[in-house]
A and B are shown apart, each in its own frame.
Chain A
Amino acid sequence: MGIELDAIYWDNVYLDDILLQIRKIKKYFPIKRGILKKTVGWIKAVDGVDLDIAKGKTLGLVGESGCGKSTLARLILRLTDIDEGKLIFEGREIQSLSDKEFKPIRKKIQIVFQDPFGSLNPKMTIGETIEEGLRVLELHAEKRKKRVKELLEMVGIPASGMDMYPHEFSGGQRQRIGIARALSVNPLLIVCDEPVSALDVSIQAQIINLLKDLQEAFGIAYLFISHDINLVGYMSDMIAIMYLGQIVELADSEELFRNPKHPYTNLLLSAVPEPDPKKKIFFKLKRQTDTIEWVEHGCKFWKRCPYASSECKETEIPLKKISSAHWVKCIR
């Protein structure tokens, strides 16, 4: 089976503009019990996800904790092995490449982490941290120093800070350093795994602006992962909603807010508080539940869905196209 070029979601962009195609990707983690570590079940962290990321665009990925969005990020970076499915980067299948073959592609996909404290090595100066990427590019020592300074200035950190250690910087600054490290290898795609959720409100906007500026300047594509649907709406061109390892809705960002189709998207949108005292949250659930219950067959959302029918429980529903830039995984 070759690369399925017909299953492209983006009608408005040419095929050449697709950077990364994710096809039916799966990652199951075994649940082990007992002394013999017998596998008693599987956690389907990522369960057949299809997504396309276009060059220089932002794909937003929204979901609650435990929906598998961070696992998906790791799969894309090949930090975790893929169980099933394909990753096609610039027309080339990369999921089965050996580490050696993957090396030149590795630096084209980078990541920015959520935790500004854990993401920098406490025993290395920030100059050294950023230099690690330049070493991979095999630059000369002098050129490396120069480039480190450039990168730091690009993200708004004075170049004099390169001999300082991470604990001398604030959370926002550390996140900038993390971005500089990702930029050091000239990536085409940066996976941003909740890049601002650990930061103060007034600092968040600075980082968001920085990410947008960098995208404009270098044409980097982002996979922007967040639980904050407003933020994702602001950042992204396309938005994917993830629930229990599956994409339940995928749409152009404006379309999604104007015309949300999946009941889970509706639930999310209605649960997000607006910074306006007149717009109070109001939503309904079939039954009040704080637990995301695991569903083995059929639609993963039926237990919480106010419109669930018996059909939802049994049939596996594919992601259906309903308009030029809108796909929904729902029976209705």
Chain B
Amino acid sequence: MNRGFWAIFKKDKLGMLGLFIFILFFVIAILGLILTSGRHPLFDPSMIRLEEKLKPPLSHANINVLSPEQIPPFGIYIFGTDELGRDVFSRMLQGAWVSLTVGFVAVGISVAIGIVIGGIAGYFGHYYIKNYHMLLICLFSLGIFSFVKRYWSALFCTLIFLLLLLYVKTKSPFLKKGIISVDTLITGIIDVMLCFPSFFLILTIVAFIPGSLYSIMVVIGLTSWMGTARFVRAEFLSLREQDFVLAAKALGVSEFRIIFRHMMPNAIAPVLVSATLGIASAILTEAGLSFLGFGVPPPHATWGNILADGKQYLFDAPWLTFAPGIAILVVVLSFNLFGEALRDALNPRLRY
């Protein structure tokens, strides 16, 4: 990252706007966490005021009917109140932190998986997996699976497992040969993963596990690493043939150091871009899940469930849908703009 990068990035007005909103969102989310948590938070998102339900934005709180701790800060509902009289602004603040963490943690998980899997496919992809290794893995998993069901079949599998091992140790040209390379296997897995429509895959998984903020993050992370893996694989494939990598090998630099010191910094640019775009889509996915009721469980506010709750009062209280809707739009758009500007600025073809 040097001067050339900033010079190009600064010229992109939309990208700068994206970056600005990105930072603003970050600050708001952190402030939101501080202001909405604790025993007596300044903005209490779960304070129910049944007398004050569905008040429009910027309306004053009716001091006469509320007890002192129920009065919102400054005495006004900035974004109005919902059907239970909860302050929408406080709920939005709490939701911002959820969106931020879901975005970053989910993408963090997916990038970590993507780099490891893509890196293995790109760097070690030309190695062949020996046939007996494949068979052993298949038998092993079959064994574990049947162990759950019936003991005798597990015993049978272990027996074949050991016989096979003995047979290979003696001689068997077919089993010692490999027909599948590491790269074929991993790209195959990536393609299979991409076949599932990701949102429905997440829905299916979420239906089986107890919903919580953390499980949502992990599930989104586990189902969105394929793009990163593809990028890293492609970069590594071209980098490993570069002269400077060969020179490092000739010097006797260790494989670990070649991968992390010589190749990774050169492969990280597209990953960074896809991560930024990935945050946007993770936020959107989380909002979607919450909207459908599969997301973070109810007392906790997220932009998605504010939206879901508000949709029944679309005509009576449009602010309930507009506030989270516009917030999601602006944040997702800013991440996309920032990501695209990043891609342009990091593209070496434009720089040199």
Contact = CB atoms under 8 A, between A and B. Distances in A.
Indicate yes or no for A touching B, C-beta below 8 A: yes
Interface of A: 74, 77, 79, 103, 106-107, 109-111, 113, 115, 118-124, 129, 132-133, 135-136, 165, 167, 178, 181-182, 184-185
B265 interface: yes
B252 A181 contact: no
A184 to B, nearest CB: 7
A123 B266 contact: yes
Nearest to A121: B244
Contact of A122 (B250, B261, B266): B266
Given A113-B243, A119-B244, A165-B2, A133 B266 contact: no
B252 A107 contact: yes
A118 B352 contact: no
Given A121-B244, A121-B262, A79 B253 contact: no
Interface string B1-17: 01000000000000000
Contact of A110 (B250, B261, B266, B352): B250
B191 to A, nearest CB: 16
Contacts of B250: 77, 79, 106, 109-111
Given A121-B266, A123-B266, A167-B352, A185 B247 contact: no
Nearest to A181: B247
B42 interface: no
B253 A118 contact: no
Contacts of A119: 243-244, 247
B251 A133 contact: yes
Interface in B241-264: 242-244, 246-253, 261-262
A123 B265 CA distance: 7
Contact of A111 (B2, B247, B253, B265): B247
5 contacts: A77-B246, A106-B252, A113-B247, A118-B243, A132-B251
Nearest to B2: A165
B247 A178 contact: yes
Contacts of A74: 246
Interface residues of B, number: 18
Contacts of A182: 247
Contacts of A110: 250-251
Which one of A129, A132, A184 has the highest number of Cβ atoms from chain B below 10 Å of its Cβ?
A: A132
B266 A181 contact: no
Which one of A110, A115, A136, A178 has the highest number of Cβ atoms from chain B below 10 Å of its Cβ?
A: A136
A86 B159 CA distance: 44
Contacts of B352: 167
Which one of A121, A135, A181 has the highest number of Cβ atoms from chain B below 10 Å of its Cβ?
A: A121
A246 to B, nearest CB: 25
A87 B247 CA distance: 20
A178 B243 CA distance: 10
Which one of B242, B248, B250, B261 has the highest number of Cβ atoms from chain A below 10 Å of its Cβ?
A: B250
A103 B254 CA distance: 10
Which one of B244, B249, B253, B265 has the highest number of Cβ atoms from chain A below 10 Å of its Cβ?
A: B244
B252 A120 contact: no
B345 to A, nearest CB: 15
Interface in B297-352: 348, 352
Given A79-B249, A132-B248, 19 more contacts: A77-B246, A79-B250, A107-B251, A107-B252, A110-B250, A111-B246, A115-B243, A118-B243, A120-B244, A121-B244, A121-B265, A121-B266, A122-B266, A133-B251, A135-B253, A165-B2, A178-B247, A184-B251, A185-B251
